[in-house]
């Protein structure tokens, strides 16, 4: 079990090769929900590079040992214990057969072998395989697997595992079997099996070299009408990896299976990806445009792991970003290409903006708290706690920087060399960096700091224009500001920061760039390489004082400090040729205003917003030359969580008041414009999930959301009700319901109730839609006489609510605790008491999910004193009661 008295710290520096290697594994399963028997026959040999003479220490958890045999003969020299099985007196090479039992029906952790809706599933990453059988459950032990599944045929007609189906047939007593062989060696975390009543859609395609491939998406029968988009996304992923990276599908058969009880998004098991239903099932009636995009991204992500993760895997879990950062980067590029192709920079920027927004809101926050860690962590207590925004999203930014430094072609050369050198191996982040360096003839020693230093770097910018000399000097200074102690400890020196910059003239056009020492100007965006604590870059031939466009396309995961005036930001918002920075200018302008408003709200001073700010947003709203998707992104104000994070002392109530004030002001001042935009972007006709149609819906629904902010939201209520009734897709129906919930804050709860009730009845049999129903209510705005904690409390007792299903728990509890800050951080501490209760309850069922919820209080020290004190009490209560090392690591680090 993951319960231990004093959780041990695992350190990267302690890595040692395994004492034994496993060449092949034959697994036989007798699948019974209450007690499944697993017979595991392994061929082992001593590792010539391992510790000589060591005993065999197999990992095992929540297993019942039945028997051990050496080369077919019962072997008595073994001892089963809390963490596994020790076997002694072994030759240098041998066959070991272990029979054990586990209890899938009782397994609420969703790690190892478990039952969901009557079907069997596995989840092995990171350390779940040891809950299935005794094994060297570590990623640097790679073996060939043969798997035989036996089960009752009526209850489990479909039997799946990794690789190719080589045999199937009938057995006595209504049972049957299937035998699978995976031709590729793999680490145990990529093992998977699925058994149950499932159906599939299938496609046969030819891969780049002309081989036929069978593609399947397996779901429960009632979900078959929601599989088309996942299948299309899979085919697009296969094509994209061939075209962009020359990587072909290496198996004859590739399967995706959907399961409704799942801890995370999806899992890249070799040839048998297992997905949370949320990232597979989509049709227009049940899934929003965001859901469609997420399905595409996650299908791509798991598919891309086949090369970046499976063919080349991680030596140890400290190297997790080797596969995750790289694969997130690949899925981001895939989604951008699907949106805008190679060339439509504005369409590609939409994806970039969404990704950067998430990075800033969640990864920067992680870097600022007690869980701060480098992309390649130095230590952990529970590895499941390190599947983080830092490892995934900052890791992807680190990979992106290679591409920014070397260009797409240079990056591709590095990838090619990486596969040439390491295919079939378990390697490190250093191996990846060296392949990129060698392929491009560069020394990337300094670049390692991106993997070893935690905290969010800051780049301060000073500029000086010399009109006599026509020179423009840009001085960049890098530092970490006043960062979290957990991050400070890791910092050793300056980073290599690719800093993309452009200069904009008074006419709004880019100035051709010529650095001192260059013979002629080249291009209008330059990637400066900042390698020292401070460096000055001087541009020559600059005819007038330009306006700098800094860190174009967010070329490095840093905070840029530069004092733009409001007028300059408005100018950039109107003119920057870099679409990312155009958005960025609007966000800076809004953030500055909102933080000023927050300070006034905190001091109970009256709030007001300058007309020039309203005018800047009005220009975006009415600029028909901008795509609707871009306008929507530019008109969403920075989130409350992001704003609170920018304050010296976070004050969620003041942030909420400020942001609501600005939303209402923009709604009121631009009421006619919002109405016009709403009308203009309302489309009739069949639903299409294309980027263009998605953009129109997004802008229209943003208009509806703003109209719902008006003091008298009659228009919003009328339009939302009509939209709700007429909707032929979930994007419009859910947006209409959300607008009604928002309008209900002023118009009274009755304004939303009929639609809310209808929504439930209409989608009663669609769990993913009912998740939305819970989430929307948990995230709705409260008022003095209507606290959302009370709404949430009632919903906890709803017959459709259960803590056992992670999606459902997330939809209600996480939505409230992490996406409704103003209500969650209620002054009386009621939100925190609720949080503590739920963390403790979840911990008994599913430590991984409990630990995620536990993290929502980790920034407690950054809040106002009254809130801080209440948060500490709640954390202490959890610390005194939880059992799992997952939650203990989180709360102990928070309190330390």
Residue numbers at the binding site for ligand TRP (CB under 6 A): 123, 125-126, 263-268, 301-302, 324, 387
Whether the Cβ atoms of residue 274 and residue 299 lie closer than 8 Å to each other = no
Active-site choice (127, 296, 302, 766): 302
User: What is the β-pairing status of strands 20-30 and 142-152?
Assistant: parallel
The nearest distance, CB 259 to ligand TRP, in angstroms, is: 10
The nearest distance, CB 8 to ligand TRP, in angstroms, is: 20
User: What is the β-pairing status of strands 84-87 and 212-219?
Assistant: unpaired
The single-letter DSSP state of residue 810 is I
Taking the C-alpha atoms of residue 326 and residue 316, their distance in angstroms, rounded to an integer, is: 16
Nearer to ligand TRP, 68 or 266 (CB): 266
Binding flags for Zn ion, 298-327, as an x/- string (CB under 5 A):
--------------------------x--x
The nearest distance, CB 303 to Zn ion, in angstroms, is: 11
Residue 272 token pair: 């048998």
Whether the Cβ atoms of residue 421 and residue 431 lie closer than 8 Å to each other = yes
Whether the Cβ atoms of residue 311 and residue 303 lie closer than 8 Å to each other = no
The residue assigned the tokens 């790289």 is 326
Nearer to Zn ion, 230 or 817 (CB): 230
The nearest distance, CB 113 to ligand TRP, in angstroms, is: 13
For residue 387, the partner it binds in Zn ion, ligand TRP, none, with Cβ less than 5 to 8 A by kind, is: ligand TRP
The residue assigned the tokens 């007309």 is 611
For residue 42, the partner it binds in Zn ion, ligand TRP, none, with Cβ less than 5 to 8 A by kind, is: none
Nearer to Zn ion, 103 or 327 (CB): 327
For residue 850, the partner it binds in ligand TRP, Zn ion, none, with Cβ less than 5 to 8 A by kind, is: none
Three-state secondary-structure class, residue 842: helix
Nearer to ligand TRP, 384 or 555 (CB): 384
Taking the C-alpha atoms of residue 554 and residue 500, their distance in angstroms, rounded to an integer, is: 8
Q: In a 10 Å sphere around its CB, with 0-12 CB exposed, 13-18 middle and 19+ buried, how is residue 680 labelled? A: middle
Three-state secondary-structure class, residue 520: coil
Scored b (16 or more CB within 10 A) or e, 329-349 reads bbbbbbbbbbbbeeebeebbb
What is the number of other CB atoms lying within 10 angstroms of the CB of residue 271? Answer: 26
Strands in 1-87 per DSSP E: 10-11, 20-30, 36-46, 56-59, 64-70, 73-74, 78-81, 84-87
User: What is the β-pairing status of strands 559-561 and 526-530?
Assistant: unpaired
The nearest distance, CB 619 to ligand TRP, in angstroms, is: 41
Interface with Zn ion (CB under 5 A), residue total 2
Nearer to ligand TRP, 310 or 524 (CB): 310
The nearest distance, CB 736 to ligand TRP, in angstroms, is: 33
Binding flags for Zn ion, 323-362, as an x/- string (CB under 5 A):
-x--x-----------------------------------
Taking the C-alpha atoms of residue 782 and residue 50, their distance in angstroms, rounded to an integer, is: 61
Q: Would you put residue 89 in left (φ > 0), alpha (ψ -120 to 50) or beta?
A: left
Nearer to ligand TRP, 114 or 184 (CB): 114
For residue 889, the partner it binds in ligand TRP, Zn ion, none, with Cβ less than 5 to 8 A by kind, is: none
Nearer to ligand TRP, 584 or 843 (CB): 843
Residue 882 token pair: 């939880």
For residue 125, the partner it binds in Zn ion, ligand TRP, none, with Cβ less than 5 to 8 A by kind, is: ligand TRP
For residue 359, the partner it binds in Zn ion, ligand TRP, none, with Cβ less than 5 to 8 A by kind, is: none
The nearest distance, CB 243 to ligand TRP, in angstroms, is: 22
The nearest distance, CB 265 to ligand TRP, in angstroms, is: 6
The single-letter DSSP state of residue 277 is G
User: What is the β-pairing status of strands 142-152 and 175-187?
Assistant: antiparallel
For residue 267, the partner it binds in ligand TRP, Zn ion, none, with Cβ less than 5 to 8 A by kind, is: ligand TRP
- Residues with Cβ within 8 Å of 632's Cβ and at least 6 positions away in sequence, in order, are 695, 698, 699, 702
The nearest distance, CB 859 to ligand TRP, in angstroms, is: 24
Nearer to ligand TRP, 68 or 272 (CB): 272
For residue 335, the partner it binds in ligand TRP, Zn ion, none, with Cβ less than 5 to 8 A by kind, is: none
Nearer to ligand TRP, 301 or 330 (CB): 301
The residue assigned the tokens 């209450």 is 34
Taking the C-alpha atoms of residue 775 and residue 815, their distance in angstroms, rounded to an integer, is: 6
For residue 264, the partner it binds in ligand TRP, Zn ion, none, with Cβ less than 5 to 8 A by kind, is: ligand TRP
Residue nearest to ligand TRP (CB): 264
Known catalytic membership, residue 366: no
Residue in 578, 586, 576 with CA at minimum distance from that of residue 546 = 576
- Residues carrying an active site annotation: 302
Q: Which residues bind Zn ion (CB under 5 A)?
A: 324, 327
């Amino acid at each position: 079990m993951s319960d231990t008295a004093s959780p041990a710290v695992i350190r990267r520096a302690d890595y040692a090769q395994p004492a034994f290697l496993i060449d092949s594994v034959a697994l036989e399963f007798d699948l019974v929900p209450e007690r499944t028997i697993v017979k595991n026959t392994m061929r082992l040999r001593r590792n010539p590079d391992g510790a000589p003479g060591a005993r065999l220490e197999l990992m095992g958890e929540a297993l019942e040992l039945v028997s051990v045999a050496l080369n077919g003969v019962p072997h008595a020299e073994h001892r089963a214990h809390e963490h596994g099985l020790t076997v002694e007196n072994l030759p240098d090479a041998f066959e070991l057969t272990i029979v054990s039992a586990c209890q899938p029906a009782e397994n609420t952790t969703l790690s190892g072998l478990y039952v969901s809706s009557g079907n069997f599933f596995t989840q092995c990453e990171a350390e779940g395989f040891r809950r299935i059988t005794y094994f060297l459950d570590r990623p640097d032990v790679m073996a060939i697997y043969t798997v035989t599944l036996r089960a009752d045929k009526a209850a489990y007609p479909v039997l799946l595992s990794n690789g190719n189906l080589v045999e199937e047939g009938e057995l006595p007593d209504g049972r049957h079997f299937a035998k699978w062989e995976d031709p590729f060696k793999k680490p145990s975390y990529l093992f998977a099996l699925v058994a149950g009543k499932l159906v599939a859609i299938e496609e046969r395609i030819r891969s780049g070299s002309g081989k036929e491939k069978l593609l399947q998406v397996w779901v429960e029968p009632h979900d078959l009408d929601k599989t088309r988009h996942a299948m299309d996304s899979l085919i697009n992923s296969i094509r994209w990896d061939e075209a962009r990276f020359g990587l072909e599908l290496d198996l004859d058969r590739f399967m995706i299976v959907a399961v409704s009880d799942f801890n995370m998004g999806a899992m890249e098991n070799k040839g048998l990806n297992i997905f949370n239903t949320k990232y597979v099932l989509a049709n227009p009636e049940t899934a929003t445009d965001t859901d469609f995009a997420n399905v595409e991204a996650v299908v791509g992500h798991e598919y891309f792991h086949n090369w970046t993760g499976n063919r080349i895997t991680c030596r140890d879990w400290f190297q997790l970003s080797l596969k995750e950062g790289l694969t997130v980067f690949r899925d981001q590029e895939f989604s951008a290409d699907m949106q805008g192709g190679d060339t439509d920079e504005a369409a590609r920027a939409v994806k970039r903006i969404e990704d950067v927004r998430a990075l800033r809101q969640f990864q920067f926050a992680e870097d600022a708290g007690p869980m701060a860690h480098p992309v390649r962590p130095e230590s952990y207590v529970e590895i499941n706690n390190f599947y983080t925004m830092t490892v995934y999203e900052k890791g992807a930014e680190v990979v992106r920087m290679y591409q920014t430094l070397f260009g797409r072609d240079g990056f591709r050369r590095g990838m090619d060399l990486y596969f040439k050198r390491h295919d079939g191996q378990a390697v490190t982040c250093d191996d990846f960096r060296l392949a990129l360096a060698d392929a491009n003839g560069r020394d990337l020693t300094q670049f390692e700091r991106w993997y070893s230093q935690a905290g969010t770097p800051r780049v301060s910018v000073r500029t000086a224009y010399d009109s006599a000399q026509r020179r423009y000097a840009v001085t960049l200074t890098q530092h970490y500001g006043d960062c979290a102690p957990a991050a400070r400890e890791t910092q050793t020196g300056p980073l290599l920061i690719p800093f993309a910059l452009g200069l904009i003239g008074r006419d709004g056009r880019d100035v051709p760039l010529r650095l001192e020492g260059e013979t002629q100007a080249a291009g209008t965006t330059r990637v400066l390489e900042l390698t020292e604590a401070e460096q000055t870059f001087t541009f020559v031939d600059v005819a007038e004082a330009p306006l700098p466009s800094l860190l174009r396309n967010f070329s490095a995961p840093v905070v840029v400090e530069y004092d733009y005036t409001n007028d300059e930001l408005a100018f950039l918002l109107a003119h920057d040729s870099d679409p990312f920075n155009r958005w960025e200018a609007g966000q800076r302008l809004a953030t500055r205003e909102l933080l000023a408003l927050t300070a006034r709200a905190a001091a109970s001073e009256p709030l007001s917003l300058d007309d020039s700010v309203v005018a800047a947003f009005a220009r975006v709203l009415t600029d028909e030359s901008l795509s609707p998707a871009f306008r929507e992104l530019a008109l969403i104000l920075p989130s409350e969580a992001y704003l609170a994070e920018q304050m010296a002392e976070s004050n969620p109530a003041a942030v909420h008041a400020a942001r609501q004030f600005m939303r209402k002001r923009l709604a009121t001042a631009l009421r006619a414009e919002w109405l016009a935009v709403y009308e203009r972007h309302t489309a009739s006709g069949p639903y299409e999930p294309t980027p263009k149609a998605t953009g129109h819906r997004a802008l229209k629904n943003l208009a509806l959301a703003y109209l719902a902010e008006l003091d008298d939201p009659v228009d919003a209520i009328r339009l939302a009700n009509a939209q709700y009734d007429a909707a032929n897709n979930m994007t419009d129906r859910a947006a209409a319901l959300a607008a009604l919930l928002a309008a209900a804050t002023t118009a009274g709860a009755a304004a939303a109730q009929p639609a809310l009730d209808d929504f439930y009845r209409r989608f009663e049999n669609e769990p993913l839609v009912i998740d939305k129903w819970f989430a929307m209510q948990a995230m709705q705005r409260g008022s003095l006489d209507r606290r959302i904690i009370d709404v949430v409390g009632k919903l906890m007792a709803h017959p459709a609510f259960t803590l056992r299903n992670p999606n459902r728990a997330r939809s209600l509890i996480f939505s409230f605790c992490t996406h409704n800050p103003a209500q969650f951080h209620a002054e009386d501490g009621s939100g925190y008491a609720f949080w503590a209760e739920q963390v403790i309850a979840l911990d008994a069922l599913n430590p991984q999910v409990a630990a995620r919820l536990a993290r929502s209080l980790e920034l407690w020290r950054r809040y106002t004193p009254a809130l801080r004190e209440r948060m500490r009490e709640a954390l202490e209560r959890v610390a005194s009661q939880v059992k799992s090392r997952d939650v203990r690591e989180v709360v102990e680090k928070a309190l330390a």
